[in-house]
Amino acid sequence: METETLDKERRRGVRLSHQALLLLVTLGLIAPSSAHAYLDPGTGSMIIQAVIATVAGSAVLLRLYWAKIKGLLAGKTPETTGDDESADR
């Protein structure tokens, strides 16, 4: 029984790897060999701005959910605050 499960997982993994390889080959064949594109300095600053915004947004998101992440990693269950509507009834 256990070997059947392992065989199914292996076949699934092989099938996924074949699909990924087919996708990469297809994209490689349809991609243009040269783009003939010009990237001006404004494009570089826009890329830098996007990277900075991503880092800042991630920091804010981490700050907002830090207590929940810390509790999850410590294995604690989330505490109820007592603001539940069903408690008032």
6-26 pLDDT, tens digit per residue, is 677 777 777 888 888 999 999
Q: Looking at the domain assignment, is residue 37 inside a domain?
A: no
**Which residue range forms the structural domain that includes residue 26?**
1-30
User: Is residue 51 pLDDT above 90, yes or no?
Assistant: yes
The percent of the chain in helix, strand and coil, each rounded to the nearest 5, is 75, 0, 25
User: Is residue 55 pLDDT above 90, yes or no?
Assistant: yes
User: Is residue 60 pLDDT above 80, yes or no?
Assistant: yes
- For 52, other C-beta atoms within 10 Å of its C-beta total 10
Percent residues over pLDDT 90 in the chain: 30
Tokens coding 44:
């570089």
Q: Looking at the domain assignment, is residue 83 inside a domain?
A: no
Q: How many structural domains are present in the chain?
A: 2
pLDDT in tens, 35-49: 777 888 899 899 999
Q: Looking at the domain assignment, is residue 82 inside a domain?
A: no
Q: Looking at the domain assignment, is residue 70 inside a domain?
A: yes
Q: Is 25 found in the same domain as 4?
A: yes
User: Is residue 54 pLDDT above 90, yes or no?
Assistant: yes
First to last CA, the chain: 52
Buried b (16+ CB within 10 A) or exposed e, 34-51: eeeeeeeeeeeeeeeeee
Average pLDDT over residues 38-61: 93
